[in-house]
Amino acid sequence: MVSLNEEVIRKVIAEVLAEMAPSSPTAKKAESLSVPKAASSMRLVEKGKAEKSSDPKDVVIGISPGFGVGFNETIVGTPHSEVLRQLMAGIEEEGLKPRIVRVLHTCDVAFIGKKAAELAGSGIGIGVLSRGTAVIHQKDLPPLGNLELFPQSPLLDPETFRAIGRNAAKYAKGESPVPVPTKNDPMARPRYQGLAALLHNKEMRFVDPKKGPVEIEVAVDR
């Protein structure tokens, strides 16, 4: 059973209050609460327009517009730096090379994953949202089709993200891996539905339909 992350809820509600009344005492307190714990642990550096690779060992991780920018942790508090570290480690364990791309025109995980796959030399991409929802996609599949989907972000932990990276690399090598096992909690959706909606609305502010994907270099501060 996954417990509700009260810290994340407090941050999101505080930020909403701050935007509604930026000059109020509550807003000033909210501003101090909204500083993410993991903000200093990861730097995402834009390196220009993301280009399609011809390297068959290239697996692209597509991150959402607000990933590591407006947000620094998932819906259950896993730092985005840890999410990326595990995804990249899983890909590297299979002998392939991870590449990070930020997709700016949408915050729909299916379309992010599809775009990542189209840019990957292997034709395989991973899409991941700020709240943790993820997908493994293939360039020849329709946007709403996929190889594996992980819609219940509250149930995704670092171990699962590492397994997602491994499976993505296995697909890229032409293998047919056993789907990543995930936990099942029927109460996760009703318990987190309100918070997920708040996080989605916040992420939408970073979407720019006119911008193409950008190459990202990840630097993790120790």
222 residues of the chain, pLDDT tens digit each = 444 445 555 555 555 445 434 443 323 322 322 333 434 466 899 999 999 999 999 999 999 999 998 889 999 999 999 999 999 999 999 999 999 999 999 999 999 999 999 999 999 999 999 999 999 999 999 999 999 999 989 999 999 999 999 999 999 999 999 999 987 777 776 778 888 888 989 999 999 999 999 999 987 665
Give the strand pairing for 134-138 and 124-128.
antiparallel
Tell me which residue range forms the domain holding 130: 41-220
- Residue 70 has what pLDDT? 80
Q: Quick one: 144 and 97 in the same domain?
A: yes
Q: Quick one: 193 and 166 in the same domain?
A: yes
Distance CA 186, CA 131 (A): 18
- Residue 187 has what pLDDT? 72
Amino acid identity of residue 103, one-letter, is V
Q: Quick one: 157 and 188 in the same domain?
A: yes
Q: Quick one: 27 and 45 in the same domain?
A: no
Q: Quick one: 59 and 104 in the same domain?
A: yes
The structural domain count of the chain equals 2
Q: Please name which of 222, 213, 174 lies closest in space to residue 52, comparing C-alpha atoms.
A: 213
- Residue 6 has what pLDDT? 52
CATH number for position 147: 3.40.50.10150
Is-above-0.75 flag for pTM? yes
- Residue 4 has what pLDDT? 47
> For 33, which DSSP code?
H
- Residue 17 has what pLDDT? 43
- Residue 193 has what pLDDT? 80
Distance CA 87, CA 58 (A): 13
Are 124 and 166 in contact by the 8 Å Cβ rule? The answer is no
Q: Quick one: 31 and 101 in the same domain?
A: no
Q: Quick one: 108 and 187 in the same domain?
A: yes
